[in-house]
Structure 1
């Protein structure tokens, strides 16, 4: 067993050509490889391989007439889609953070630090909040640090300060650990969802897409780790329950509960982005097959 050695850009070009990729503009290809990276670009090469979608025992041989520029186009489609989605997912995240804080804080006015109150939260969550969320790094957040400088006897800053600096994933965990099923249900109903389990499933789906976008992950052929539940966003087939198209139906549904205009705007921009690949059949065929979106 040995580790592979690093390769130069010239060696990378030679490897790609030996595997059947057509590179007509070598200087531009070198620029792309230095900009994107050989390893990262490999995720976008994969759908052009003859073995795709098999991941074991791959030959790394490409389909006939595979053009390097098409691989780069697929990469930039994914790049643009991630950037587009972050704007709208951020709207959902802030709205959920704000409404959760507002609603629960007003349910429990006598407990401004309800997120660590065992009477309101599941005991294990409440008792571990300080070590798992409100640690030294969290306390060093400027606004949180300033709060404790001014209120030296407070163990925690109140919810409207604390929750503002929690991650999306942490806020979902906070929501799921509320003891009151009635409170959780009322929050879910604010977004037009009767079932707490369906609401959590929808929000977990959005979290996966959000983290993929934020960390530059591959989006067009994402396979969701948790299947989407049927609910008010619609009945989905087995493919949609785990692919990008299904996730987009969820994002669009939740966003529409917040703003019809923003949901319409997002859907129009996604359609424009999809339409931009119409003139590149190998690319839009891959997007169609992998994401579930039909490019007409």
Structure 2
């Protein structure tokens, strides 16, 4: 069984694997700040056995510096902060539009999300235990039920606000009428519900990675990004961060072209910081993400034509 190690022991181990450490004091500071285990994910691309995850030796290629992994970590950190901010905008817009349009379409039923003529029965069957139990923990929902004691559920505009993105997406997929799903998808410029579901699932996957502060630069999506209005996605991009960024950039553009421009600027800023630190690192990131990072919002708009 492996045992915990001290910072000096961790530095000695890294050195034995070929990592060059130019400043021991700074390395100790980084290891206490980031953690040896977490930083190991950022040494992975520099290992001789990369990308083979099985039978890893952990020995690194010649001239690999401790600072390389730290720089990659902070690039990932910047990406995570940027993506989190814009994904939140997409999530709110999706939730808001779905709630607004269907609540007004089904004005006679404030709880249309459990109406068997609107939503599939399987969703309704699971809703109370798998979704609303968590929603009811919110203070706003608690206050609603104190005031309206006979309501089984709070109305849609309250309930959906406190559902997870995954639950809102499942609700969307469970809408019986294609017209209801198209009503939302077309608002975001997508004419096929399967493509729209794929886009939101892509957003959800990246959101969860960001929310758990997990490694982002080499994220592997649960499903490939489908071809649609976000532009062409090459085979090597379909499961990667590159494909996800194309989807996020597209959806942000349907909400606000100004925010799409800001999104691209922030991505470029993170890339430029990395590029200024190390060309070698830049090439490594481009190979992993399958992405040409010098983007422009004009190029993104052109890609959709």
TM-score by length of 2: 0.94
Contact kept, 8 Å, 1:112 with 1:158, in 2: the verdict is yes
| 1:117 match | 115
| 2:275 match | 278
User: How far apart, CA to CA, are the structure 1 residues paired with 2:125 and 2:104?
Assistant: 22
1:127 Cα offset (Å): 2.1
User: How far apart, CA to CA, are the structure 2 residues paired with 1:192 and 1:234?
Assistant: 12
1:282 Cα offset (Å): 2.5
User: How far apart, CA to CA, are the structure 1 residues paired with 2:63 and 2:74?
Assistant: 20
| 2:84 match | 86
SS for the counterpart of 1:161 is helix
Larger deviation, residues 216-225 vs 18-27: 216-225
- Which residue, 100, 103, 116 being the options, matches 1:102? 100
Map Cα deviations across residues 172-209 of structure 1 (whole Å, 9 max, x no partner): 01100111111101211111011100000011001111
| 1:290 match | 288
- Cα 1:295/1:138, change in 2 over 3 Å: closer
- Name the count of aligned residue pairs: 293
1:138 partnered with 2:135? yes
| 1:65 match | 63
1:258 partnered with 2:249? no
User: How far apart, CA to CA, are the structure 1 residues paired with 2:225 and 2:145?
Assistant: 41
User: How far apart, CA to CA, are the structure 1 residues paired with 2:24 and 2:187?
Assistant: 55
Contact kept, 8 Å, 1:81 with 1:270, in 2: the verdict is yes
Contact kept, 8 Å, 2:188 with 2:251, in 1: the verdict is yes
User: How far apart, CA to CA, are the structure 1 residues paired with 2:255 and 2:213?
Assistant: 26
* Structure 1 unaligned spans of 5+: none
* Structure 2 unaligned spans of 5+: 295-305
User: How far apart, CA to CA, are the structure 1 residues paired with 2:293 and 2:267?
Assistant: 11
| 1:230 match | 227
- The list of structure 1 runs, each at least 4 consecutive aligned residues, that deviate by more than 2 angstroms after superposition, is 293-296
Contact kept, 8 Å, 1:284 with 1:295, in 2: the verdict is no
1:156 partnered with 2:148? no
SS for the counterpart of 1:276 is helix
Contact kept, 8 Å, 1:168 with 1:207, in 2: the verdict is yes
TM-score by length of 1: 0.97
SS for the counterpart of 2:221 is coil
Larger deviation, residues 73-82 vs 279-288: 279-288
1:294 Cα offset (Å): 2.5
Q: Considering only aligned residues, what root-mean-square deviation do their CA atoms show, in Å?
A: 1.0
1:295 Cα offset (Å): 5.0
